[in-house]
Chains A and B, each alone.
Chain A
Amino acid sequence: MLRSFRSEWIKLRRRAMVLGGAGTLVGFAVLTVALTLMTASTTPADQGPDQGLTLAQLAAGDGLARTIGGAAQFIGVVALAMFAISMAGEYTQGTLRNLLVRQPRRVRLLGGKLLALASFTAVAVVTAEVAAVVTALVVAPSQDIATAAWFTSDGWAALASGLGNLLLATLGWGLIGALLALLLRSPAAAVGVGLAYALPFELLVTSAWDSGVRWLPGQLLGTLASGGAATVTYGRAALLLAIYAALAVTAGMTLFARRDVAT
């Protein structure tokens, strides 16, 4: 699995992955933070649970963490696309057959590949967090937002847990992308279906079925990223997502190990 991991990292260092994948992810984080701070007002706006934060909320100890957390879904969608393109691309480019000749133990190959993608995503999320903090420090003074509370012990703790939650949620989206890639074996189809699921599909389902927020993976990943919500506790979201992840990994590994490689 280590050889597969190292081999995958050679591919991940491609400019397309660094700029197109990780760069986009960092860009979304920076843009979200800048816009959140620049559009903040003294009264709350109806823009979703963690957007439209008031100036007072932003100046609180967890203000910075909540601001960055607002980018979770955008970052998640980018991760979904990165995983899907990287996995499904092996089928469409025909490179999977080369990989399987050199590493016929398919579970090891897939395991190493997923771990490499996860570590790459982790580096990108941490970079995005750092870039978002720097952006916040640059933009906050121009909006008269006090930043002193961000760097208290409570502020640092909120930032650290926010980063952990954001990372877990992002990897969850990535896993959805990987599973779709293994099922559909086409980057365009995997990204298309993934985006359709993440954006309109779950929104439509939850608007018709209130309990959807307690069960649907996308909703639970949002809850995880924001550290819990009124409707779903953090613990429930984490437990359900862990079960979904185990099922997804098992299904993906089984499919990958057993299916013919005819491309």
Chain B
Amino acid sequence: MTTNIAPAGALADPAAGARPAPAIRSHGLTRRYGPLVAVDHLSIQVPVGVVAGFVGLNGAGKTTTIRMLLGLIAPSDGSAEVLGKPITKPAAYLSRVGAMIEGPAFYPTLSARRDLDVLAVLGGHPRAKIQQVLELVGLADRADDPYRAYSLGMKQRLGIAAALLPDPALLVLDEPANGLDPAGIIEIRNLLRRLADQGTTVFLSSHLLAEVEQISDWLVMINHGRLLFDGPIDQVLDRQRPELVVAAEHPGDLATVAGLAAEAGHPDTTANGRFLRVQAPASFAGELNRLAMRQGVTLVELRPEQPNLEDTFLHMTTQTPTEVQ
């Protein structure tokens, strides 16, 4: 399923008249390695200005997709555009793209400042930007230490700093939270949110689904190289129906509660130990409580449980492609 939004500030696509061009658009993008199909006819559209989570199981084809979008590997089939330019001409758009692919990679004996200097000079970015991005990721104090002396979290921050050097219109980050402590994750989350608010599109590949859920407003989900979902994250969460989790003072009363829920139009229930899960919106909680009281059933726990990305992801990745569509 594909859903598009057209946010303000989207790039003008001359070929499409006034229609805004997405930050990333692919049509049947495919990459084969011999008999293995790493990316299988992937068609996605990521609008400008969103934080887009890019999720999938290990080996789902996320990094291969990112490498194709950055011109590092050629697709076997299909096409894609980044910032309105075809990926066959990466020089046309990479000056406006910042990326960290498969973790940070720098020269171990150079200092962080020198490592960034290598990339700033190569990309033609002002050297003054180096100090700015070092401060932004909280590495300014350790900028002259050799890269090899850095912790994993510091290396990760340096990778993000390098990606920010070109003042990117599109920031592509592959697992940016790896090795970061909780405070670091929050800092990076806030930084990415701030960048998105300023108009930068963030394409974020991560296996930390809770993190993706918190920060993203768009989601691209793939499995075995195939697209499962591409659209606003709320849409995918809405696919999982909300539940009420109920516990009664006497567990034997749960059957009565299930019957009451069914009579009220919510027949889908699951007993799980001392809990009953009723598929119903949070607004039904009050009514269910009143119905139970009238029947002399005392509820000791009654809480709504909203669907989360982790459950939705597991649900979708364990379905067959036909079921998902």
CA A104 to CA B87, docked complex, whole Å = 11
> Are B109 and A7 interface neighbours, CB within 8 A?
no
> Are A10 and B105 interface neighbours, CB within 8 A?
no
Q: Which residues of A sit under 8 angstroms from B266, Cβ to Cβ?
A: none
> Are A15 and B72 interface neighbours, CB within 8 A?
no
Among listed B90-98, B248-256, B312-320, interface-contacting one? B90-98
> Are A98 and B73 interface neighbours, CB within 8 A?
no
Take A3-B121, A4-B122, A6-B121 as given contacts and tell me if A98 and B114 are in contact as well, using a CB distance cutoff of 8 Å.
Answer: no
Q: Interface 1/0s, chain B 18-61, versus A by CB < 8 A?
A: 00000000000000000000000000000000000000000000
The reply to whether the CB of A260 lies closer than 8 angstroms to some CB of chain B is yes
Q: Which residues of B sit under 8 angstroms from A4, Cβ to Cβ?
A: 122
Q: Which residues of B sit under 8 angstroms from A15, Cβ to Cβ?
A: 109
B121 nearest CB neighbor, chain A only:
A7
Q: What is the interface residue range for chain B against chain A?
A: 20 to 34
> Are A10 and B73 interface neighbours, CB within 8 A?
no
Q: Which residues of A sit under 8 angstroms from B118, Cβ to Cβ?
A: 7, 10-11
B106 CB, nearest partner CB in chain A, Å: 7
- Majority SS at the chain B contact face: loop
B100 nearest CB neighbor, chain A only:
A98
| Most B Cβ at <10 Å: residue of A4, A7, A14, A16 | A7
The reply to whether the CB of A93 lies closer than 8 angstroms to some CB of chain B is yes
Q: Interface 1/0s, chain B 249-286, versus A by CB < 8 A?
A: 00000000000000000000000000000000000000
> Are B72 and A98 interface neighbours, CB within 8 A?
no
> Are B105 and A101 interface neighbours, CB within 8 A?
no
> Are A10 and B70 interface neighbours, CB within 8 A?
no
| Most B Cβ at <10 Å: residue of A11, A104, A261 | A104
The reply to whether the CB of A94 lies closer than 8 angstroms to some CB of chain B is yes
Partner of A98, one of B71, B91, B108, B119: B119
> Are A11 and B110 interface neighbours, CB within 8 A?
yes
Q: List 27 A-B contacts (CB under 8 A).
A: A3-B121, A7-B118, A10-B117, A10-B121, A14-B107, A14-B109, A14-B110, A93-B105, A93-B106, A94-B103, A94-B105, A95-B106, A97-B67, A97-B70, A98-B105, A98-B119, A99-B122, A100-B72, A101-B97, A102-B94, A102-B166, A103-B123, A104-B71, A105-B91, A260-B72, A260-B73, A261-B67
With A97-B67, A262-B72 known, 14 other A-B pairs at CB within 8 A are A3-B124, A6-B121, A7-B121, A10-B121, A11-B107, A97-B101, A97-B102, A97-B105, A100-B72, A101-B72, A102-B123, A104-B94, A109-B122, A262-B67
Interface of A with B (CB < 8 Å)?
A: 3-4, 6-7, 10-11, 14-16, 93-95, 97-105, 109, 260-262
